[in-house]
């Protein structure tokens, strides 16, 4: 009775867990279960047996993420219709006994525009399976094939090209040509203004903090460290805030520009990145809010990589971190230690358990953000420097156990984690990532 009156909890009672419907990171299709992977084999075998309709059904079952229902099929006597979601775009298609076709609507062009048509004509040369077209006032992309040649491999890469290119081009077209109008966006899920407000505030805060930190460093002698600080900021914003539209393209241009193989010195590239971040921070709130929404995806825009690539990236960053740790630059050291893992999360389609471990690291490193956006319990208290050790280790163990069937050798030694500081935790956590074995059963 006293426990109920005064809100006391029993000793072994776990703290209340709150997980709001907030998504993080870009979609990865490197998360298929063994059952889903088997459906790809089924589709391939059925196609070889000339059982084309059954092959397509198995293919769509492989492609479908059951948690979000990103692929739907409707059947009728004459034909089968399907829909594939990819960000702000929706692929609609149909197949009969003879042919399969799919189409995406990009934008509405109320008045003919030579510059728009020239852009699409030029883009056609970069397509392998699809083509741009126009029907009435609709700008669209199309893909067609005979059913007898629609093997799973061809369908996968054709649909991926159609969906990912359309998802990117519609925003670019609307941004560059003011006469075009958005169309076919009813499936996009809006998010609460309260969530947008939190994300906007942290966008401003993280940029300000990083720019301030960079300005305390020697631009020449510490140019490589400054690069990692700025790139890690881009990776963090992309993963935690998941912006679309203009903000997304600003970040992509920033990262791509740095890694472009040209003659520009690192100092100049750092200066360019700093200016780009300041321009992002200067965007009016309504522009940023318009870039924050949720949508379903079916294809990743990045490719899988080997575990050795992840291990080498993490190891290299931790080696670079040591000098800054030992010379009293803890904030710089922590960001550099995080950079190796963040680089992989941004540039590759990581196995789901590895991405989940990255999210756990983010929940510790940026605990205040997660608290403000509605997650509990908090994994790290910035004021006291205390870690929620039991919850952190439970989260890691749950990730490992959930994926043991697909990755039998998957392991993470939580006993090696250090809780002396956020830097020591990040270093010990990422060091364990070097040895995570994601060899498939």
Q: 124-167 pLDDT, tens per residue?
A: 888 999 999 888 889 999 999 999 999 999 999 999 999 999 98
From first CA to last CA, the distance across the chain in angstroms is 52
Instruction: Name the CA dihedral angle for 246, 250, 255, 261, rounded to a multiple of 10 degrees.
Output: 110
How many residues are there in the chain? Answer: 441
Whether 286 and 60 have beta carbons less than 8 Å apart is answered as no
| Two structure tokens written together for 147 | 């059913």
Task: Answer yes or no: do 238 and 324 share one domain.
Answer: no
pTM of the model: 0.88
| Two structure tokens written together for 342 | 């963040």
Q: Looking only at Cα atoms, what is the longest distance across the chain?
A: 77
Q: What is the pLDDT of residue 215?
A: 95
In a domain, 16, yes or no: no
> At 354, which helix (H) or strand (E)?
helix 352-365
In a domain, 9, yes or no: no
In a domain, 1, yes or no: no
Res 13 pLDDT > 60 = no
Structural domains of the chain, count = 3
Where does a domain end: 181, 199, 232? 181
Res 52 pLDDT > 60 = yes
| Residue 377 preceded by cis peptide, ω within 30 | yes
- Rounded mean pLDDT, 213-237: 97
What percent of the chain is predicted at pLDDT more than 70? 96
In a domain, 15, yes or no: no
Q: What is the pLDDT of residue 1?
A: 42
Q: What is the pLDDT of residue 370?
A: 97
Cα separation, 241 vs 255, in Å, equals: 16
Q: What is the pLDDT of residue 168?
A: 85
Q: What is the pLDDT of residue 15?
A: 58
Task: Answer yes or no: do 397 and 429 share one domain.
Answer: yes
pLDDT per residue as tens digits for the range 399-431: 999 999 889 999 999 999 999 999 999 999 999
| Two structure tokens written together for 262 | 């040209």
Task: Answer yes or no: do 57 and 170 share one domain.
Answer: yes
- Rounded mean pLDDT, 206-227: 96
Q: Give backbone dihedrals phi and psi of 104, rounded to 5 degrees, phi first.
A: -130, 135
* Region for 51 from its dihedrals, namely left if φ exceeds 0, alpha if ψ lies in -120 to 50, beta otherwise: beta
In a domain, 175, yes or no: yes
Whole-angstrom CA distances from 23 to 46, 133, 142, 191 are: 36, 34, 30, 11
Task: Answer yes or no: do 363 and 423 share one domain.
Answer: yes
Helix and strand numbers, DSSP H then E, in the chain: 16, 9
Whether 225 and 320 have beta carbons less than 8 Å apart is answered as yes
Higher pLDDT, 77 or 373: 373
Task: Answer yes or no: do 355 and 247 share one domain.
Answer: no
Closest CA to 234 of 268, 196, 272: 272
Whether 318 and 427 have beta carbons less than 8 Å apart is answered as yes
Cα separation, 365 vs 387, in Å, equals: 10
Cα separation, 432 vs 435, in Å, equals: 6
Res 14 pLDDT > 70 = no
Res 11 pLDDT > 60 = no
Where does a domain end: 181, 203, 230? 181
Residue position matching structure tokens 């006032």: 137
In a domain, 133, yes or no: yes
Q: Give backbone dihedrals phi and psi of 23, rounded to 5 degrees, phi first.
A: -100, 155
Q: What is the pLDDT of residue 136?
A: 87
- Rounded mean pLDDT, 163-191: 86
Where does a domain end: 128, 159, 181? 181
Q: How many CB atoms lie within 10 A of CB 75?
A: 11
Q: What is the pLDDT of residue 41?
A: 95
pLDDT per residue as tens digits for the range 300-352: 888 889 999 999 999 999 999 999 999 999 999 999 999 999 999 999 999 99
Higher pLDDT, 176 or 100: 100
pLDDT per residue as tens digits for the range 346-372: 999 999 999 999 999 999 999 999 999
Whole-angstrom CA distances from 391 to 4, 16, 286, 395 are: 24, 11, 37, 6
Please give the mean pLDDT across all residues of the chain: 91
Residue 349: domain span: 297-441
Higher pLDDT, 188 or 253: 253
Task: Answer yes or no: do 45 and 176 share one domain.
Answer: yes
Task: Answer yes or no: do 114 and 153 share one domain.
Answer: yes
Q: What is the pLDDT of residue 6?
A: 41
Instruction: Name the CA dihedral angle for 370, 372, 374, 380, rounded to a multiple of 10 degrees.
Output: 40
Task: Locate all alpha helices (DSSP H) within 33-181, ordered by sequence.
Answer: 34-48, 52-63, 114-124, 152-176
Task: Answer yes or no: do 197 and 162 share one domain.
Answer: no
Task: Answer yes or no: do 302 and 439 share one domain.
Answer: yes
pLDDT per residue as tens digits for the range 119-133: 888 888 889 999 998
Res 246 pLDDT > 90 = no
| Two structure tokens written together for 236 | 């963090």
| Two structure tokens written together for 214 | 């960079």
Q: What is the pLDDT of residue 34?
A: 84
Task: Answer yes or no: do 436 and 307 share one domain.
Answer: yes
CATH of residue 112: 3.30.1460.10
> At 99, which helix (H) or strand (E)?
strand 99-109
Task: Answer yes or no: do 52 and 160 share one domain.
Answer: yes
Range list of β-strands (E), 160-293: 180-181
Kindly provide the b/e burial profile for residues 297-318, where b requires at least 16 CB atoms within 10 angstroms of the residue's own CB: bbbbbbeebebeebbebbeebb
Res 3 pLDDT > 70 = no
- Strand partners of residue 109: 180
Task: Answer yes or no: do 359 and 327 share one domain.
Answer: yes
Res 279 pLDDT > 90 = yes
In a domain, 19, yes or no: no
In a domain, 144, yes or no: yes
């Amino acid at each position: 009775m006293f426990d109920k009156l005064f809100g006391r909890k029993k000793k072994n009672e776990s703290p209340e867990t709150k997980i709001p419907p907030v998504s993080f990171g870009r979609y990865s299709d490197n998360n298929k279960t063994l059952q889903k992977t088997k459906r790809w084999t089924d589709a391939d075998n059925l196609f070889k047996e000339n059982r084309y309709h059954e092959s397509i059904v198995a293919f769509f079952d492989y492609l479908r993420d059951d948690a979000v229902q990103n692929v739907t099929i409707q059947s009728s006597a004459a034909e089968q219709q399907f829909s594939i979601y990819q960000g702000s775009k929706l692929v609609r298609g149909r197949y009969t006994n003879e042919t399969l076709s799919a189409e995406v609507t990009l934008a509405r062009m109320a008045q003919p525009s030579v510059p728009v048509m020239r852009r699409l004509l030029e883009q056609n040369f970069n397509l392998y399976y699809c083509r741009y077209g126009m029907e009435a006032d609709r700008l669209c992309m199309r893909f067609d094939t005979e059913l007898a040649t629609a093997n799973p491999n061809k369908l996968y890469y054709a649909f991926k090209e159609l969906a990912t290119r359309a998802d990117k081009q519609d925003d670019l077209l609307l941004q560059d040509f003011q006469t075009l109008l958005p169309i076919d966006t009813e499936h996009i899920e809006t998010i609460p203004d309260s969530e947008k407000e939190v994300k906007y505030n942290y966008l401003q805060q993280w940029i300000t903090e990083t720019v301030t930190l960079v300005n305390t460093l020697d631009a020449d002698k510490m140019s490589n460290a400054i690069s990692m600080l700025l790139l890690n900021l881009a990776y963090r914003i992309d993963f935690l805030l998941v912006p679309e539209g203009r903000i997304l393209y600003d970040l992509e241009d920033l990262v791509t520009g740095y890694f472009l193989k040209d003659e520009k010195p690192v100092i100049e590239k750092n200066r360019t990145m700093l200016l780009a971040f300041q321009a992002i921070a200067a965007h009016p709130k309504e522009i940023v809010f318009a870039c924050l929404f949720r949508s379903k995806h079916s294809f990743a825009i990045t490719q899988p990589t080997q575990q050795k690539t992840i291990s080498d990236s993490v190891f290299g960053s931790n080696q670079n971190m040591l000098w800054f740790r030992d010379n009293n630059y803890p904030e710089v050291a922590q960001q550099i230690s995080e950079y190796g893992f963040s680089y992989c999360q941004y540039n590759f389609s990581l196995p789901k358990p590895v991405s989940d471990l990255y999210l756990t690291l983010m929940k510790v490193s940026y605990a205040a953000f997660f608290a403000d956006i509605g997650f509990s319990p908090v994994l790290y208290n910035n004021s006291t420097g205390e870690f929620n050790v039991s919850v952190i280790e439970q989260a890691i163990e749950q990730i490992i156990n959930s994926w043991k069937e697909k990755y039998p050798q998957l392991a993470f030694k939580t006993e090696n984690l250090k809780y002396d500081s956020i830097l020591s935790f990040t270093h010990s956590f990422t060091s364990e990532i070097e040895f995570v074995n994601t060899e498939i059963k």
